[in-house]
Amino acid sequence: MPESSKFLPFALDTNDPEFRADRRALLEQAARAAIAYLDAENESAVEPSGQAVAALERFREPAPELPASANQVLELLTKVAAPATIRKTAGRNFGFVNGGCLPAALAAAWQVSAWDQNASFFVQSPAAVTLEEIALGWVREMLRLPEGTGGALTTGATMANFTALAAARHALLARQGWNVEEDGLYGAPEIRVVVGEEAHASIFKALGLLGLGRKRVVRVPVDDQGRMRADSLPELDDRTILCLQAGNVNTGAFDPAATLAPVARKAGAWIHVDGAFGLWARTAPPFHALVEGFDLADSWATDGHKWPNMGYDCGIALVREPEQLHAAMSIRAAYLLIGERREPTDYNPELSRRARGVELWAALKSLGRSGMAQLVERTSKHARRFAEGLHAAGYEILNEVVINQVLVSFGSPEKTLRTIEKIQQDGTCWCGSTVWQEHTAMRISVSSWATSDEDVERSLQAMLRAAAEVNGELGR
């Protein structure tokens, strides 16, 4: 036997005290490594070094013929993979819309992995199914959505958009006497989909997956913040899905739901809201006016892994009439012991799935509604501070900073991109680039519970340093 076979994953007697001691040692070692990783977050660069990324090549080998000990597996992850991660856990990662992971959610994730539950239906895991149901109810309450709304947990908002839009597709076609789940879209009556010009890419992906087509949409012009222009809304009817957006990924702007949603409801259209992060602004009283009207929708997509900081991954699809979602997603087979209660698998595209409802429950339990509201307010305050600091230094802020998103230009596209590159290399913080209505910009998304005032000041200084260096290189 090779030396690496000491703690093999098979032919073990799980009652053997020696096995138990080895397993305990392994898991304690894993926990120690994870804690050390977290403890190092303030001293470490957010972006991994080129050397660490290059070292990932060590993992490339033909499919291993011989087993390896679990300790050896863990050691490789700790020594080679961990240094090549992006420091998402630090409060200075402002890339994409990356939430952090609250301690309670992380602890819950460890439990979930130890339990190894399949959250498909109740018989498979009473605990996972019950906590998921409760967490979904809390999300509905915190977001102030209509009573009776039900939904599903998915991997992310992309799948939540897909899931909710599958319910919309079902409902609109059923109204016209067409059963899309049974008969598909061949020969089906046409559905019209209306989206804003700045709808998120995931909406188009979801429409493509649903056979509704990425291109076969009516695009409504938007203003300079990406908000749908109410005066350009086309005629709607009960064969139309209107996709509104709560929180543009670049500007954070909200479509004017208070104006548009009543019109769409009156016309009998299905209103879907993509609120991957922005919908959570409904938890915070200072933002109530901004997010008015979104509760009039028929379906909503949002994320647990963005503003609620429950760690990856968790999307949330909500539907006002959950039976429409059930009709789109339910599955039956003799061996699937589907009961009378709410079974998760009847509401989402998957059968086997991680018990992410437990992690969502843990995040929401540890935050409470007031903690969630504070998280929204605090991260938005941080965003305003970034905008103020950058503007005071003479750089252009391209958006109205309404929530937690900032777009800044450091001058020409070349200068902006070079500044971003320098910021990433410096490692104090991490920001990505975008093009907003033809202007190259740096995106700052403050979405983590872990971001402190000090993180913001430190990061702001790093940004200003990088921008000054670029001005030195390329001229102001």
Q: Work out how close the CB of 276 gets to ligand PLP at its nearest, in angstroms, rounded to a whole number.
A: 3
Q: Work out how close the CB of 342 gets to ligand PLP at its nearest, in angstroms, rounded to a whole number.
A: 23
Q: Work out how close the CB of 43 gets to ligand PLP at its nearest, in angstroms, rounded to a whole number.
A: 29
Considering only residues 90-149, where is the footprint of ligand PLP by CB under 6 A? Answer: 96-97
Query: Cα 460–465–466 angle (5° rounding)?
Result: 100
Among 158, 251, 379, 448, binds ligand PLP (CB under 6 A): 158
d(CA 308, CA 288): 18
Task: Based on the shown chain and the rule CB under 6 A, indicate whether residue 322 belongs to the binding site for ligand PLP.
Answer: no
Region of 3-11, 60-68, 86-94, 155-163 interacting with ligand PLP (CB under 6 A): 155-163
Task: Based on the shown chain and the rule CB under 6 A, indicate whether residue 198 belongs to the binding site for ligand PLP.
Answer: no
Identify which of residues 247 and 389 has a Cβ nearer to ligand PLP in the complex: 247
* End-to-end CA gap in the chain: 66
Task: Based on the shown chain and the rule CB under 6 A, indicate whether residue 202 belongs to the binding site for ligand PLP.
Answer: yes
Distances (CA, A) of 271 to 18, 168, 263, 327, 382: 59, 8, 10, 18, 32
Q: Which residue is nearest to ligand PLP (CB)?
A: 156
Task: Based on the shown chain and the rule CB under 6 A, indicate whether residue 247 belongs to the binding site for ligand PLP.
Answer: yes
In the DSSP assignment, the letter for residue 81 is I
Q: Work out how close the CB of 406 gets to ligand PLP at its nearest, in angstroms, rounded to a whole number.
A: 15
Contact 87, 44 (CB under 8 A): yes
Strand order of the β-sheet with 439-445 is 396-397, 405-409, 439-445, 432-436
Contact 436, 444 (CB under 8 A): no
Alpha helices per DSSP H over 330-439 = 356-392, 413-426
Considering only residues 273-292, where is the footprint of ligand PLP by CB under 6 A? Answer: 274, 276-277
Identify which of residues 124 and 434 has a Cβ nearer to ligand PLP in the complex: 434
| DSSP code string of 279-327 | GGGGGSGGGTTTTTTGGG-SEEEEESSSTT-B-S--EEEEESSHHHHHH
Q: Number of residues interacting with ligand PLP: please give it, by CB under 6 A.
A: 14
Considering only residues 16-75, where is the footprint of ligand PLP by CB under 6 A? Answer: none
Contact 155, 313 (CB under 8 A): yes
Identify which of residues 274 and 359 has a Cβ nearer to ligand PLP in the complex: 274
Identify which of residues 357 and 389 has a Cβ nearer to ligand PLP in the complex: 357
Identify which of residues 170 and 200 has a Cβ nearer to ligand PLP in the complex: 200
Identify which of residues 96 and 110 has a Cβ nearer to ligand PLP in the complex: 96
Among 101, 157, 168, 296, binds ligand PLP (CB under 6 A): 157
Residue 296, helix vs strand vs coil: helix
Alpha helices per DSSP H over 306-355 = 322-329
Among 48, 95, 156, 371, binds ligand PLP (CB under 6 A): 156
Identify which of residues 178 and 277 has a Cβ nearer to ligand PLP in the complex: 277
Identify which of residues 158 and 459 has a Cβ nearer to ligand PLP in the complex: 158
Q: Is the dihedral of CA 116, 121, 125, 129 positive or negative?
A: positive
Residue 64 CB coordination number (10 Å): 8
Q: Work out how close the CB of 47 gets to ligand PLP at its nearest, in angstroms, rounded to a whole number.
A: 20
* Residue 220: strand pairing partners: 196
Region of 24-32, 151-159, 386-394, 466-474 interacting with ligand PLP (CB under 6 A): 151-159
Tokens coding 273: 């809201």
Task: Based on the shown chain and the rule CB under 6 A, indicate whether residue 272 belongs to the binding site for ligand PLP.
Answer: no
d(CA 358, CA 111): 9
Identify which of residues 154 and 424 has a Cβ nearer to ligand PLP in the complex: 154
- 217-220/240-245 β-pairing: unpaired
Region of 50-58, 75-83, 270-278, 408-416 interacting with ligand PLP (CB under 6 A): 270-278
Q: Work out how close the CB of 206 gets to ligand PLP at its nearest, in angstroms, rounded to a whole number.
A: 9
Q: Work out how close the CB of 42 gets to ligand PLP at its nearest, in angstroms, rounded to a whole number.
A: 26
Task: Based on the shown chain and the rule CB under 6 A, indicate whether residue 250 belongs to the binding site for ligand PLP.
Answer: no
Nearest in space to 379 (alpha carbons), one of 304, 432, 456, 318: 456
Q: Work out how close the CB of 302 gets to ligand PLP at its nearest, in angstroms, rounded to a whole number.
A: 9
Identify which of residues 293 and 315 has a Cβ nearer to ligand PLP in the complex: 315
Task: Based on the shown chain and the rule CB under 6 A, indicate whether residue 303 belongs to the binding site for ligand PLP.
Answer: yes
Q: Work out how close the CB of 272 gets to ligand PLP at its nearest, in angstroms, rounded to a whole number.
A: 11
ω before 426 within 30° of 0 (cis)?
A: no
Among 140, 169, 200, 422, binds ligand PLP (CB under 6 A): 200
Tally of CA atoms within 13 A in the half-sphere of 430 that contains its CB: 21
What distance lies between CA 228 and its chain's CA centroid? 23
- 192-196/432-436 β-pairing: unpaired
Please name the helix (run of DSSP H) or strand (run of DSSP E) that holds residue 473, with its range, or none: helix 453-474
Contact 378, 369 (CB under 8 A): no
Residues at the interface with ligand PLP (CB under 6 A): 96-97, 156-158, 200, 202, 247, 249, 274, 276-277, 303, 315
